[in-house]
Chains A and B, each alone.
Chain A
Amino acid sequence: MAEPMVVVDDLHIVYKVYGAGGDRGTAATVLLRVLGRKTRGSIREVHAIRGMSFIAYRGDAVGVIGRNGSGKSTLLRAIAGLLPPEEGNVYTTGEASLLGVNAALLDDLTGERNVVLGCLAMGMSKQEARDKFQSIVDFSGVGDFIDLPMKTYSSGMGSRLRFAIAAAKSQEVLLIDEALATGDAEFRVKSHARIQELRSQAGTVFLVAHNLEEIELTCNRVIWMERGQIVKQGEDVISIIDEYIAASGGAGIARDPVTRARIKTQTLDSATR
């Protein structure tokens, strides 16, 4: 029997947005509101996830697809425990983490300081951060730029370093949110290999990507979301993706067997290297 790693039980997530209404502008409307003892009209609730249930098992790589605003990133944040459920719950082994440390880094600081800061932010000890330092710098390939402020980096270099830091820590449940499309062709292969490596170390992987081919290649299960609900999910990745493409009116994926085989072997090669 497969071991469950993530159980999502009838999950609802609600965001509160302030200042969304148009009635905030004039003093008169505010005064009326205060006098009328009405609650603030400008708070709007956005119901981002409306009742999702599923189980992900050890060894699963789950692709999450759907249009912009369908709640994919919110779902990952909820699994990582970063957003409290309005109703329902998410159960994990306690080691679910998003891949990404961008928010903890400061562009004014040198790459070097950011590597350490990022590692500590992900929960590494000081010693671990020191141990990983060289491999992170090597992987990112920023070279001598490491002692310059990150704002002096080209955008490619910056995203390479960010990815290198984020991918330095292996997780039991790994949540990847569109992290793959970074850097040049060479780095994409490299980062792809690194993600495969993390996947093999992780129990379960969730992948949000607009690149459907990526999902087809890496995932054994797929969840199609629309307006915060599951439209379809299952292990029949190719047919669900085709259905999704048909529903959103996009062009289909050209499944050229030669190219696919090449990408797969490439990533496997560099993963084992």
Chain B
Amino acid sequence: MSDPKTPLRDREEEGGRRSAYGRLTSGLRAQGTGRVVSPGQLLVGDVGTADPDADGVALAEYALQHGLRPSAQRPTIWNYIAQLWRRRHFIIAFATARNIAMYTEAKLGQLWQVLTPLLNAGVYFLIFGLLLHINRGIPNYLAFLVTGVFVFNFTQRAFISTSSVIPTSLPLIRALQFPRASLPLAYVIIELQQMVLSMVVLVVIVLASGEPITWYWLLVLPALLLQTVFNVGIGLLVARLGSQVNDFSQLLPFLMRTWLYVSGVLFSIGTLSLRTHRWLIVLLQLNPAALFITLVRNALLVSQRLSQPGAQPYNAAKCHIWNTLGHQAGASTQYQYDSAYCHPYANPDYFWYYGVGWAVLALLVGFFIFWRAETRYGRG
């Protein structure tokens, strides 16, 4: 069962006609060869007219003369941003509507928005807090773990949902005209709304684990803002990828799992003792997921801020104690803070700059790449 593509038209005739009339305006993509001609000399692709002035004019030129524009033309990047801004209410309404619709079938309804992160945290508490007693030398391991899981989840879910946003929204794309970047943007906003609720749960858990409230907590807001901007950027990027490479969604779970394991969700990258591969550790620490996790952890958890390498002046003896005794299974809590006396692999003072860098870079690249294919998303 094959439907061979019909030759679009007789190329020779096309070429001949183009040169003979030479009425094609340059700078327009995908121009047709139709003309407006008086009846009697009509060729395929021509339109008859009774207007003697228009006789023999190329259709494209005729349209432009009358102030018409190509219907599927990509707007300039500045126009595109303006269009998106005008659609801001739609984007937010669309995101909120989908968020609400997600739980209408469930008996507990909107309560699931809070229950889901709570149960997530519960699983980790059960396994790591009660069953395994693993802390790998990290103080307040439960809060450390749950913070990492929640922050990573935000990026992970944004990544996964935007990768399929174009195929799943195809009916909408083929019915209404709007800047297509609205869709990945709305999907990231959905995840942001869920993240805000997760943060409420997280705050409760962190307080319950014995961390004090400090002014540093306010730093969570800029950290989440940067992460959201970053998520929008990669959301736009993977939305375009997902619209063109269908196999991408099959590959995604493996990508995400790898990313989870290298981003220090379950362990602290900064206190790894792989001295020979210093560059590798720096690389892991500066990957965007790890970076945003570290920023939030340092904001919320005093135990993290005080125990991260570089927090105290270097002290070879204490660092050595931590490297040997601190890593032992069931090590006493007295060694846990000694990692602060080690050299940091990447300087934590610069983490905010790196975070801004990642967010801006992702947004610029993602937006540009998504915009490039703006008119093609309806094709499927």
Partner-B contacts on A (CB < 8 A): 1, 3-12, 14-18, 20-22, 44-47, 50-51, 53-55, 77-94, 96-98, 100-104, 106, 108-109, 113, 116-117, 120-123, 125-126, 149
Among residues of A, the one whose C-beta sits closest to the C-beta of B176 is A121
Stretch at the interface among B93-101, B234-242, B326-334, B335-343: B93-101
- Cross-chain contact B71 with A79 (CB below 8 angstroms): yes
Among residues of A, the one whose C-beta sits closest to the C-beta of B60 is A9
The distance in angstroms between the C-alpha atoms of A109 and B173, with both chains bound, is 20
- Cross-chain contact B175 with A92 (CB below 8 angstroms): no
B125 at the interface (CB under 8 A from A): no
Given A90-B72, A91-B70, A103-B171, CB of A108 within 8 Å of CB of B101: yes
- Cross-chain contact B173 with A82 (CB below 8 angstroms): yes
Q: How far is the CB of A42 from chain B (nearest CB, A)?
A: 10
Q: List 24 A-B contacts (CB under 8 A).
A: A5-B68, A7-B66, A9-B34, A10-B59, A16-B380, A20-B1, A50-B8, A55-B36, A55-B59, A79-B71, A81-B375, A82-B175, A88-B30, A88-B34, A91-B69, A98-B176, A104-B176, A106-B97, A116-B93, A117-B93, A120-B87, A120-B89, A120-B94, A126-B89
The distance in angstroms between the C-alpha atoms of A156 and B128, with both chains bound, is 55
- Cross-chain contact A84 with B171 (CB below 8 angstroms): no
**Which of A79, A87, A103 meets B32, CB within 8 Å?**
A87
Given A9-B34, A109-B100, CB of A46 within 8 Å of CB of B3: yes
Q: How large is the interface on B (under 10, 10 to 19, 20 to 34, 35 or more residues)?
A: 35 or more
- Cross-chain contact A53 with B72 (CB below 8 angstroms): no
Which 7 A-B pairs rank lowest in CB-CB distance, beginning with the nearest? A10-B32, A88-B32, A91-B63, A9-B32, A81-B71, A91-B68, A53-B34
Among residues of A, the one whose C-beta sits closest to the C-beta of B174 is A82
Chain B residues, CB < 8 A from A3: 66
**Which of A16, A81, A88, A121 meets B31, CB within 8 Å?**
A88
- Cross-chain contact B67 with A125 (CB below 8 angstroms): no
- Cross-chain contact A53 with B45 (CB below 8 angstroms): yes
**Which of A8, A15, A108 meets B105, CB within 8 Å?**
A108
B273 at the interface (CB under 8 A from A): no
Among residues of B, the one whose C-beta sits closest to the C-beta of A227 is B6
- Cross-chain contact A84 with B375 (CB below 8 angstroms): yes
**Which of B44, B68, B86, B375 meets A51, CB within 8 Å?**
B44
Chain B residues, CB < 8 A from A51: 8-9, 44-45
B276 at the interface (CB under 8 A from A): no
